[in-house]
Amino acid sequence: MGELKKNSAVPCGVKELEKRLGYRFTDVNLLLQALTHRSYVYERDETELRHNESLEFLGDAVLGFLISARVFKLCPDLSEGELSKIKARLVSTENLSKLAEDIGLGDFILMSRGEEKTGGRHKRTIIADAYEAVLGAVYLDGGVEATFGYLDRQMAACFKDIDIRELTAADF
């Protein structure tokens, strides 16, 4: 994807990822940070370079909030426990990594050569974490409405195919 420096020219690939996300960033540096794995930063020893963990933290919270609101709206008569099980499934590493794979997010993650050699682009935790970081970046860049729209588009199939009985019977 190219080198990453604050206020630098947009690396090639960012426009393609924005197209896949269905969201155009005002501050592309937020997206670049969301795509930067810790290993990439440590390999380069650059003080201005920031990895995606703080955006992942924010994205996780935003994801939980927005999914909870959506699930509540779809299934207002379910119990708290049933709603929690549905939410747990939707925000699981398994589901997030699938959503990330669907848009090819792993191809855009900046990571160390060592992480790359050990299959980092296909590790479920790395791509799910990057997915949450991108959500955090969308939230900071466009606010809650933009994030809700993005998430609704990305998870449309998940919501459409939701099997309430199956999800509430399973233990996540």
The CATH number given to whatever domain includes residue 109 is 1.10.1520.10
- The answer to whether residues 167 and 86 touch, using CB atoms and an 8 Å cutoff, is yes
Residue corresponding to tokens 């974490």: 129
Residue 6 falls inside a structural domain: no
DSSP code, position 171: -
- Concerning whether 102 is annotated as a catalytic residue, the answer is no
Residue 8 falls inside a structural domain: no
Residue 143 falls inside a structural domain: yes
More confident residue, 170 or 134: 134
- Concerning whether 132 is annotated as a catalytic residue, the answer is yes
- What is the token pair recorded at 19? 């197209």
Which of the following is catalytic: 56, 60, 115, 141? 60
Residue 133 falls inside a structural domain: yes
What pLDDT score was predicted for residue 156? 81
More confident residue, 11 or 19: 19
Which of the following is catalytic: 56, 129, 132, 141? 132
Residue 32 falls inside a structural domain: yes
Q: Which of 79, 27, 30 is nearest to 58 (CA)?
A: 30
3-7, 11-15, 70-74, 131-135: range with highest mean pLDDT? 131-135
Residue 9 falls inside a structural domain: no
Integer-rounded Cα Rg, in Å, for the chain is: 17
6-10, 31-35, 80-84: range with highest mean pLDDT? 31-35
Residue 2 falls inside a structural domain: no
**Residue 38, Cα to own-chain centre: how many angstroms?**
16
Range of the domain at 142: 14-169
For 117-167, how does the pLDDT look when each residue is reduced to its tens digit (9 = 90+)? 999 999 999 999 999 999 999 999 999 999 999 998 888 877 776 666 665
For 25-68, how does the pLDDT look when each residue is reduced to its tens digit (9 = 90+)? 999 999 999 999 999 998 887 667 899 999 999 999 999 999 99
Asked if pLDDT for residue 168 goes beyond 60, the answer is no
When divided into structural domains, the chain yields a total of: 1
Backbone angles phi, psi at 167, to 5 degrees: -70, -35
Q: Which of 96, 108, 115 is nearest to 35 (CA)?
A: 108
What pLDDT score was predicted for residue 8? 43
Q: Distance (Å, rounded) from C-alpha 1 to C-alpha 12?
A: 6
Residue 7 falls inside a structural domain: no
Phi-psi region of 13 (alpha: psi -120 to 50; beta: other; left: phi over 0): left
